[in-house]
Structure 1
Amino acid sequence: MPEEDTKQKRNLRKVLTATVVSDKQDKTLVVKVARRAAHPLYRKVVTFTSKCYVHDENNEAKTGDVVQIMETRPLSKTKRWRLVTILKRAVTD
C-alpha cells in the first residue's frame, strides 16, 4: 500500500504552463507564470505574473519557449520546479 500512497501524492503536484524568460544559467530556467484574476478592489480582470526558477537537466528549453513545469522537492535555495515538456518552441529568425 505505501507505493500507492506515494503515487497518489505525486499526482497531486502542481503542473503549470509558463514562458521561458531566461536560459543563461546552467541547468536552470527563469520562467514567468501568468494567471488572470479579478483585482481585489476594482474587480477588473488583470494578469498577474510570478517568476519561478525551473530545473532543466539537459538545457533543452530556450528563451521564448512555452513549457510545462511541475512542482518538486527543493533542489536549491530558489529552485522548486522542474521542466516536464516543451509545449511550443520560440520562433527564431
Structure 2
Amino acid sequence: MPKRILQGTVTSDTNEQTVTVSVERRFTHPVLKKTVRKSKKYRAHDAENRFKVGDSVRIIECAPVSKNKRWEVLVDAAPEA
C-alpha cells in the first residue's frame, strides 16, 4: 500500500527535530451541500530543523519515530530562500 502524502503549513517549530503541520481538507457536506473546511494537526519529523512557522510543506507517512510522530517532512519540499 502506498504511503500517504499530505500538504500543509507549519504552525509550530519549537521542539527539536519536530514540526507541527496543519493540514486542511475541504469536502461537501452530505446534507447541506455546503463546502466545509476541516483542519487537523500532525507532528512530523524534521531532522535538520530546516522548516519554520509559515512554511508550506509536504509530509509523508513513516514508521513511528516517537509517541506522537508518525510522519516526516519530504526533503523535496525545501523552502525557497
Structure 1 SS opposite 2:66: coil
2:40 is the counterpart of 1:50: yes
Of structures 1 and 2, the one scoring higher in RCO (CA 8 A, sep 6+) is 2
Residues 61 and 76 of structure 1: CA distance in aligned 2, closer, same or farther (over 3 Å): same
5+ residue gaps in structure 2?
none
Identity of aligned pairs, percent?
39
Work out which of the residue numbers 62, 76, 80 in structure 2 matches 1:72. 62
* 1:18-74 C-alpha deviation (Å, 9 max, x unpaired): 100000000000010011111243221111101000000000000000001100011
Distance in 2 between residues matched to 1:41 and 1:89, nearest whole Å: 42
1:82 paired residue number: 72
CA RMSD of aligned residues (A): 1.7
Work out which of the residue numbers 8, 14, 25 in structure 2 matches 1:35. 25
State the number of aligned residues: 80
Work out which of the residue numbers 1, 5, 10 in structure 2 matches 1:20. 10
The TM-score with structure 1 as length reference comes to 0.78
Structure 2 SS opposite 1:75: coil
Q: Of the two, which has the highest radius of gyration?
A: 1
The TM-score with structure 2 as length reference comes to 0.88
Question: Which structure shows the bigger proportion of residues in helix conformation?
Answer: 1
